[in-house]
Amino acid sequence: MKRTAIGLEIEESQVLVEKLNELLANYQIYYQNLRNFHWNVTGPNFFELHAKFEELYTAANLGVDETAERILTLGSRPYSSYQEYIDNAEIKEAMEVKDHIDMVEIVRNDLNILLKLERDTLNTANELGDEGTASLMSDYIMAKEKVVWMLSAYLR
């Protein structure tokens, strides 16, 4: 049985790599949607949402990097082209969204897609005994659940 540099079975790790690359692709589209909204938000909630979108894309940028580095740690190549992101993401690019409420709803929906992927990856990591990936996913899930709650409160 062949193992990765960190001692995990290579074939089993490839299942996680596929899930992590899917997460990475979605994370990148989510990140770009946030940049779009940060740049283009207008209206009476401009200052509040401009700052919130920046906070969220800064956190997403870290998540992108950590996810790609986890894939590398598992001995594989992370997706790294826009075409790979678009081809492998459930999250869609949000183009020309003008209404700030629509922006917040899109962010919340995108977060729920990421949460679904992270929960699935967490379950697989637990089944395979990959504590590193499981820990990373647990941290992501907890942080995103709080943001979803906050955005939902904003939309009420």
Per-residue pLDDT of the chain (156 residues; tens, 9 = 90+): 888 888 888 888 999 999 999 999 999 999 999 999 999 999 999 999 999 999 999 999 999 999 999 999 999 999 999 999 999 999 999 999 999 999 999 999 999 999 999 999 999 999 999 999 999 999 999 999 999 999 999 999
Q: Is residue 8 part of a domain?
A: no
Q: Residue 73, Cβ neighbours under 10 Å: how many?
A: 16
Q: Is residue 1 part of a domain?
A: no
Q: Residue 25, Cβ neighbours under 10 Å: how many?
A: 24
Residue 51's Cβ-side half-sphere holds a number of Cα atoms within 13 Å equal to 3
Tokens of residue 29, six digits: 């589209």
Domain with 35 in it: 18-155
Q: The CATH number of the domain where 135 resides is what?
A: 1.20.1260.10
Q: Is residue 149 part of a domain?
A: yes
